[in-house]
Structure 1
């Protein structure tokens, strides 16, 4: 956000109308939206209002999506609710710049849907009066969302500012399997080489050696890929739990006895990086892990020639799914065995917000609340019963003929592409949580943290300071960790690495997170 805020303001003002002409101006409301009093809004049931109204919402559209106006969820929900939504769509590439421009020019829509607002953005635009507080509206007009926030208090604490306001609501994921990357191992290779599923990091090392040298694909060539992961430091997140390192508060933090610890310079992190360096040097870890694309990584999953990798579901290797099985985290050198790579229940922060020009915030809150129910989430994710999906024992499943062309699913739902404001529960997760994935999640469940704390909401001044500190620290950590893993620098430089982190004020950053955590406990 910082690199765009305040930059090229003159050009911002000049060019805003080129792609945001569909938004409201700062001086008035959308003329198509009649004035609606609170008495005109039905607190429960449908329609939400008796007289149809229009709302304009700015949204991100993913490359896989079709136009929102053609999605059955919005067509059918308009008939049900009497609320017509005109979506102002911005492609994923360039979305952040357009969102920045929207606020900088004060050319505001009525709401932002799938908006990906950061904590700093919500506080900044809320304090500026461009976003309105939602806590009162939630209490009165969002029974589904309020119920979830009461059931999972960490949701409320993760989206409430220090001043007690909620300026944006998240996507909510109560299904554990939708918040974790599973650990998938090639069971066919294990069986052929007469190996057991590895339980420790040492056993994993030995299994990877066997995958490299034992010709488990049987072609007489040494062409197997023992282990891979998404590009960059995702491998650190995937393996950190085996070294006692958690990912709390949206950062590299473990919490012990209510003490916040940023672990980047810790001995346990050094131990993990040394282990990953060993795997990399012996070609047990993908040599392209810092260079391959997402598409290339997914292709490796589906090739059947990979021994071990990480992914949330099995969609990318369905044709060879019987070849793989999900396994538990590994016990590390100190006996740690944690599933650290798990997202909070409030998974997609800042997914929806209402602006100050909206003449009908009560209607808008009721409109979005529907998607935090199983019924509304089913409509959003699956479309029309009989046409796109069928119910089996109360659970919606896409029809086989509909899924013959996999792109069909992405065309009918804003869920595809991520970040949509709605509920992901067991009720609506048949596509991403089939039996094989459920079994893989069951292997992780005993090692999941009791509470996954979301990134805290700082006041704007503190958020600015956190961003400044993290910009430097995160970049340095990523650069140096990559070099440690590939062997570009040796571990004799570790003290120098620690010293540099101290000079970058990592202790000050830790204190800011500690203060935020302490407030959460009150």
Structure 2
């Protein structure tokens, strides 16, 4: 965002906070109080009374991060603040992050889906469009929007993400670089130093370092109780990327469209994952650790040496330092395989895609568009940073600096979920400035600043901007994915029962049985038709 626009947004927020102080004598925020008492005071942004506002419903990812003292995803200080200040009364519908698509599909089937449905996965949005569950919104943006309409005109690179079958089926905003750099790897630098090891640069070196973390007592307690590698939900993407593949992407192989899960390179990624499992280099309970709480506990209690996760892991690092004050962590660059060095998974420029339920009536559509205008213009900033001079202060008139990390973590961090449109963008060098200035926060911020650079250092292979948005493709993959996953789990965890090569033979057999060859043909035709639209980069 340009500097003058950024300052304008901040100035607006400052004026809002001044009005709060003058008209309402806003109370200070105390996490010990009930959510009802700690909701930020209403501003005068929206002159409509609560009685005249239309209600709309919006999905929200439930990541289990709302503290009990704050309430729930449905009702907390920020949902109340939104309802008091936006042009709508919003009912938030939480869906479990790990099962979001299944939950949304169930709600759609029962006729109880929210008005606004959002997802990161464009394929899923395309699937909903092809099913008629969501509706084209070009005319609504043209008729009812001001801020969002202007923003989209100024960001034409977002058009391809929002367009399905030639029509706009969703709206989005541009990602900040810290969300483009999605994945990240962390390593215990103090363990490397103690064992006189260097950070691994290849998959082979990664395995050797992991073995030493397992066998040579890096935590110094005299027991062989360390787990070399733990991970969150990004682990599969990270391990696949070492081999230039991703199970949910399409690739151009000699000019032909091929699905990532059927490639020879995918076999190599399975073999690598199996090797880690068979040698006890990853936690063997990861299959049942669906919410990754066990993995997190192993890391934060100092029992794990490498974390496959996100480039930004504030809470995990803070909790680790609380349990092991002398722990030193460092970001780990992507490691090379026989195919070369791929980047860690990076997202496309478009952020979440917000779609409109087909069952919305005209009044709710207009209200929803005006709500999105408000969120893009004013609402996003408090959702990301909290209340000025309570949770942050401005440095150099443009950089929000966190005042108290624990307070932010308790009272604000979960609210990011509601900022479904945003104009925020950052720079790596801002991270230490934005963080609280105590020694621990600065140590973590400096590590994060370096991690962001490392995460973006190597280009991530993405042959086409988006996967084919054809109903035949979506339907096949929806059927194929759980079958392939079951086979892959057996390969990784089943010992000698199924080799990677045998497993891939079964995967390809299922792909062919379900009509994969025909889908590849359709995908190729789609690619040839949309080459320019796909902005192919090699």
Which of residues 359, 364, 376 in structure 2 aligns to 1:372?
A: 376
For residues 357 and 289 of structure 1, the distance between their equivalents in structure 2, rounded to whole angstroms, comes to 45
* 1:263 Cα offset (Å): 2.8
CA, structure 1 residues 392+141, in 2 after alignment: closer, same or farther (shift >3 Å)? farther
- Note if contact 1:201-1:331 (Cα within 8 Å) is conserved in structure 2: yes
CA, structure 1 residues 95+210, in 2 after alignment: closer, same or farther (shift >3 Å)? closer
Which of residues 306, 309, 329 in structure 1 aligns to 2:307?
A: 309
Q: 1:295 is matched with which residue? A: 293
- Note if contact 1:169-1:353 (Cα within 8 Å) is conserved in structure 2: no
* 1:359 Cα offset (Å): 2.1
CA, structure 1 residues 516+85, in 2 after alignment: closer, same or farther (shift >3 Å)? farther
Map 1:171-186 to 2 at 5 A.
172-177=174-179, 179-186=181-188
47-56 or 294-303: bigger deviation: 47-56
* Higher helix proportion: 2
* 1:473 Cα offset (Å): 1.9
Alignment partner of 1:54: what SS? coil
- Note if contact 1:276-1:485 (Cα within 8 Å) is conserved in structure 2: yes
* 1:503 Cα offset (Å): 2.6
For residues 101 and 221 of structure 1, the distance between their equivalents in structure 2, rounded to whole angstroms, comes to 48
Q: 2:345 is matched with which residue? A: 341
What TM-score do you get using the length of structure 1 for normalisation?
Answer: 0.74
CA, structure 1 residues 361+49, in 2 after alignment: closer, same or farther (shift >3 Å)? farther
- Note if contact 1:263-1:269 (Cα within 8 Å) is conserved in structure 2: yes
Alignment partner of 1:169: what SS? coil
Gaps of 5+ in 2: 1-43, 322-326, 436-440, 534-538
* 1:216 Cα offset (Å): 1.1
Which of residues 121, 124, 128 in structure 1 aligns to 2:128?
A: 121
- Note if contact 1:102-1:108 (Cα within 8 Å) is conserved in structure 2: yes
1:8-52: CA deviations, max 9, x gaps?
A: xxxxxxxxxxxxxxxxxxxxxxxxxxxxxxxxxxxxxx9678898
For residues 385 and 260 of structure 2, the distance between their equivalents in structure 1, rounded to whole angstroms, comes to 41
Is the counterpart of residue 479 in structure 1 residue 481 in structure 2? no
CA, structure 1 residues 203+425, in 2 after alignment: closer, same or farther (shift >3 Å)? same
* 1:192 Cα offset (Å): 0.7
Q: 1:443 is matched with which residue? A: 454
For residues 367 and 137 of structure 1, the distance between their equivalents in structure 2, rounded to whole angstroms, comes to 13
Q: 1:508 is matched with which residue? A: 518
- Note if contact 1:177-1:438 (Cα within 8 Å) is conserved in structure 2: no
Q: 1:160 is matched with which residue? A: 163
* 1:105 Cα offset (Å): 6.9
For residues 73 and 289 of structure 2, the distance between their equivalents in structure 1, rounded to whole angstroms, comes to 32
Which of residues 242, 251, 255 in structure 2 aligns to 1:254?
A: 251
Q: CA RMSD for the aligned pairs?
A: 3.8
Q: 1:135 is matched with which residue? A: 138
CA, structure 1 residues 514+380, in 2 after alignment: closer, same or farther (shift >3 Å)? farther
1:184-218: CA deviations, max 9, x gaps?
A: 11111111111111111111111112111221111
Q: 1:392 is matched with which residue? A: 395
For residues 183 and 326 of structure 1, the distance between their equivalents in structure 2, rounded to whole angstroms, comes to 6
For residues 235 and 102 of structure 2, the distance between their equivalents in structure 1, rounded to whole angstroms, comes to 30
Map 1:13-28 to 2 at 5 A.
none
For residues 263 and 98 of structure 1, the distance between their equivalents in structure 2, rounded to whole angstroms, comes to 26
- Note if contact 2:385-2:391 (Cα within 8 Å) is conserved in structure 1: yes
CA, structure 1 residues 307+150, in 2 after alignment: closer, same or farther (shift >3 Å)? farther
* 1:333 Cα offset (Å): 1.5
Which of residues 326, 334, 345 in structure 2 aligns to 1:329?
A: 334
Q: 1:406 is matched with which residue? A: 409
Q: 1:521 is matched with which residue? A: 532
CA, structure 1 residues 426+145, in 2 after alignment: closer, same or farther (shift >3 Å)? farther
Gaps of 5+ in 1: 1-45
Q: 1:466 is matched with which residue? A: 473
Q: 2:23 is matched with which residue? A: none
- Note if contact 1:56-1:87 (Cα within 8 Å) is conserved in structure 2: yes
Greater length-normalized contact order (CA 8 Å, ≥ 6 residues apart): 1
CA, structure 1 residues 73+215, in 2 after alignment: closer, same or farther (shift >3 Å)? closer
Alignment partner of 1:173: what SS? coil
CA, structure 1 residues 147+106, in 2 after alignment: closer, same or farther (shift >3 Å)? same
Q: 2:222 is matched with which residue? A: 220
- Count of residue pairs the alignment pairs up: 455
Which of residues 262, 265, 276 in structure 1 aligns to 2:262?
A: 265
